[in-house]
Structure 1
Amino acid sequence: MRTAPRLPLATPAAVEVLTRILTQGPIARVEIARRTGLSQAAVTKAVAPLVEAGYVVDSPGSREDTVIGRPVSPLAVVAESVAAIGIKVTPSELIGVVTDLQANIQTVLHKPLAEKSPESVLDQLAILVDELLGGGEQGTHNPLVAGSSTLAGVGVAVSGDVDAVAGVVRHSAFMGWRDLPLAALLTERIGLPVVVSNDVRALTVAEHWFGVGVNANSFAIVTIGSGVGCGLYLNGDVVAGAHGVAGEIGHLPLAPDNLVCTCGRHGCVETVASSDAILARVREDTGRADLDLAGAVDLAHAGDELARAAFDRAGQVIGSALAAMVNLVGPELVVIAGEGVADYDLYDHRIRSAFAEHAFGAAADCELTIRSHTFDDWARGAAAAVIRSFVRTEPPF
């Protein structure tokens, strides 16, 4: 497999120019200069080797694209020039995707996990990477198989406390892992650059470069599912935290102290607001141990008071957690996403009322919006983390 060569980016200014083209293009040189503060000469100097190497192209301008009567040819990335592999790790499944340089998903492959031990998961990750590189029935639409792309690297997204710089999963309660050097171990198996990220932060990277963050000054992504996570984009970048932990609203102590979280602590938001917690509460209160989450949702929609109470309690705690986060960091937008948002209508009002009750002053003006996504989007986030590191020439590139 041919991996992508290092990008011809000699200076931080060149990295900034390529980032603008990648995330905001097609875009004219004069507009890049205006948005970055660079001179047009500096922009042209940065772009020339990228055009020569085939990563950037002059796209034809429209009749309206003119500067002092001269036509403008906006710059655009050649999306198919580079591919990235992204994998989301869950306790029961690996979800793998191949994307182009703009994080557009080209190929998807799901692989069940029989067990969560690091050795077993590493073996399955290596098999999945090999299949994404060309094996399996998905290959007919795979740009890596077609030979139209070179591979930047492999991204792996895992829930929990992840040191992205070192590529170490310090603690993942869902996987039962501690201090696992995942990037180094997987690189040994597959011989490719590996970027390991916290799953919510990887999703935030994807939204920063290729989603709501392109035109937002600040935003937060709050995910509701088996856990409750939060990614933050502030002051021009995704917040990683000095110790690799930031935005963990799922572990704010806003729930009753008698409830024990998967992290081992008491009273975390997740003990009430995660989909697993809601289902457990509905089963306990109704005596219906046979219920799955869909059944709990149906019961609540049918008007069962006990089922609705579980969703109401979750909405109250989520709304309070959102207010605490918005009061602290002040994003202009909060996107609520995750596998649990299909049930959002059950506690929409309670979330918003709790948020309004606890948001301080103008923080209440923060927009709350819903954006449904699937596990494929989590894997896309892992690929986006690879693309960002590749463009920024960060480790392991």
Structure 2
Amino acid sequence: MSGIARDLISLGVLHETQTVHGQGRPSILLDLHPEGAFFVGISLLEDPAPMVLSDFNGNIVARRTMPLSRDPEVIADLISEALPKLLAERKDAAQKLYGLGVALSGFVDERQASCVQSTLLGWQDVPLANIIRQKSGIDTFIENDAKAVAVSEKLFGNARDIRNFSVVSFDDGIGCAHFIGGKLYRGNHGGAGEIAHCTIEPGGSPCRCGKRGCLDTVASLKAIKEMAKAEGLSCHSMNDLETEASLGNAAAIRVLHRAGNALGLAIAHLIQFNDPGMILITHVEGRFDGLFGTVMRQSVEANVLPRYAGQTPIRTQRVDGDLWARGAASIAAHNFLIGPTPN
């Protein structure tokens, strides 16, 4: 082991961090060298599309943006044009670039190569990774946005020491992904974890996926704002809605109860299915310290078996706008470190 460690240190992959004194000889702790490798991450969930350069510890060291397109060939061209400018912001990044990741909304195949379907982008069976690889010359991997966030949390975030956990991303849409036995669980076709399109209100509002009553139509940030508007409320954010509810506005209370109950029910199902060690809810906008979060937690506890009640920590994390681009870079890092995710 000492010989292998020395080789990895000399290659710049590992570095010594601190000396730990105890019984016997002191131990020297090792960690990944932050400048040992770099990865590019791109999010196709926003316009303009953010592009980041990440080091080996998951830190973002450079940023750029590019126009968002629905044409895969145009996307590949835009990435190829922007890459040299992004890499120029960090010395040696071009020589140590080991992969490029793309996060998008939709289903991705088990090889992290093709977008099977994306309603947001209007795609079906698009071999995006290969198109980008051919034009950029860089190993490229694509992934569903929620799964990319889960990989980021496992490699660099709150879930590094947890083998079984689920990430629920709360935004205009709801995403979900699972790590089981320390590995990202994708299912046989890459579609595992899509709670957004689980039917939560049979016969309910139509969903963009073509079904009715999906969780996305009730508990997503977009759905909550639409329900508030339908109730005649002039609330432009969750903070506004929570404020109205705290003042006793019955319509605001009704909207938050409906959404919180729905999200809590879906999370209760996750707990029943997988018995995870943690549920992590990430959100860019929104609040989980008011009525919505309270109702959600009450709904979780009311809909799991009594023996599971209170056993699964549910953590919420306010994240920045780099969430999906950082997750995309983590997908490239994951493939470099561990290799492709098995089914």
The answer on 1:235 being equivalent to 2:190 is: no
Q: 2:76 aligns with which of 105, 114, 122?
A: 122
Q: Secondary structure of the residue that 1:261 maps to in structure 2?
A: coil
In 1: Cα distance, 2:288 partner to 2:66 partner: 26
Question: Percent same amino acid at aligned positions?
Answer: 27
**Change over 3 Å in CA distance of 1:105–1:285 after alignment to 2:** same
Q: How far, CA to CA, are the matches of 1:205 and 1:105 in structure 2?
A: 16
In structure 2, runs of 5+ residues without a counterpart are none
1:312 aligned to 2:267? no
For 2:75 and 2:307, how far apart are their aligned partners in 1? 46
Preserved contact between residue 299 and residue 307 of structure 1 (Cα < 8 Å): yes
The alpha carbon displacement at 1:303 in A equals: 4.1
Instruction: Show the counterpart of 2:320.
Output: 374
Q: 1:74 is paired with a residue of what secondary structure?
A: strand
1:197 has 2:143 as partner: yes
Q: Establish whether residue 79 from structure 1 lines up as the match of residue 28 from structure 2.
A: no
Q: CA RMSD in A?
A: 2.3
Give the structure with the higher percent helix: 1
Deviation sequence 1:272-313 (CA, Å, 0-9, x none): 01111111111112175xx53365555445543223321221
Provide the rounded CA distance (Å) in 1 between the counterparts of 2:221 and 2:17.
46
1:173 aligns with 2:119: yes
CA distance in 1, matches of 2:225, 2:63: 29
1:47 aligns with 2:11: no
| Amino acid in the other structure paired with 1:293 | S
Aligned positions of 1:49-198 closer than 5 A: 49-62=7-20, 64=21, 66-68=22-24, 70-113=25-68, 115-134=69-88, 139=89, 142-144=90-92, 150-198=96-144
Q: 2:177 & 2:112 partners in 1: Cα distance?
A: 20
Letter in 2 for 1:336: I
How far residue 322 of structure 1 moved from its aligned partner, in angstroms, is 0.4
Q: What is the TM-score normalised by the length of structure 1?
A: 0.79
SS at match of 1:266: coil
Shift of 1:116: 3.0
**Counterpart contact for 2:19–2:28, Cα < 8 Å:** yes
Matched residue, 2:236? 292
Task: State the aligned residue count.
Answer: 339
- Match of 1:214, SS state, is coil
Distance in 1 (CA, whole Å) between partners of 2:23 and 2:147 is 40
On the 8 A contact 1:88/1:156 being kept in 2, the answer is yes
The one-letter code sitting in structure 2 at the alignment partner of 1:172 is S
Residues 288 and 316, structure 2, Cα contact 8 Å, conserved in 1: no
**Cα-to-partner distance string for 1:186-241 (whole Å, 9 max, x where unaligned):** 11221111111111111111111212222223211111111111111111211111
CA, structure 1 residues 56+350, in 2 after alignment: closer, same or farther (shift >3 Å)? same
* Distance in 1 separating the partners of 2:207 and 2:92: 42
Query: Is the 1:84–1:152 Cα contact (8 Å) retained in structure 2?
Result: yes
SS of 2:208's equivalent in the other structure is coil
Is the CA contact (8 Å cut-off) linking 2:221 and 2:286 kept in structure 1? no
Is the 8 Å Cα contact of residues 174 and 216 (structure 2) preserved in structure 1?
A: yes
Q: What SS is found at the alignment partner of 2:168?
A: strand
Question: Aligned to 1:61, what secondary structure does the other structure show?
Answer: strand
Query: For residues 92 and 60 of structure 1, do their structure 2 counterparts lie closer, same or farther at Cα, with a shift above 3 Å needed?
Result: closer
Whole-Å Cα distance in 2 between the matches of residues 277 and 124 of structure 1? 32
SS at match of 1:217: coil
| Unaligned segments of structure 1, at least 5 residues | 1-42
2:171 is aligned, of 225, 231, 252, to: 225
Q: Are 2:196 and 1:273 aligned?
A: no
Point out the structure with max Rg over C-alpha: 1
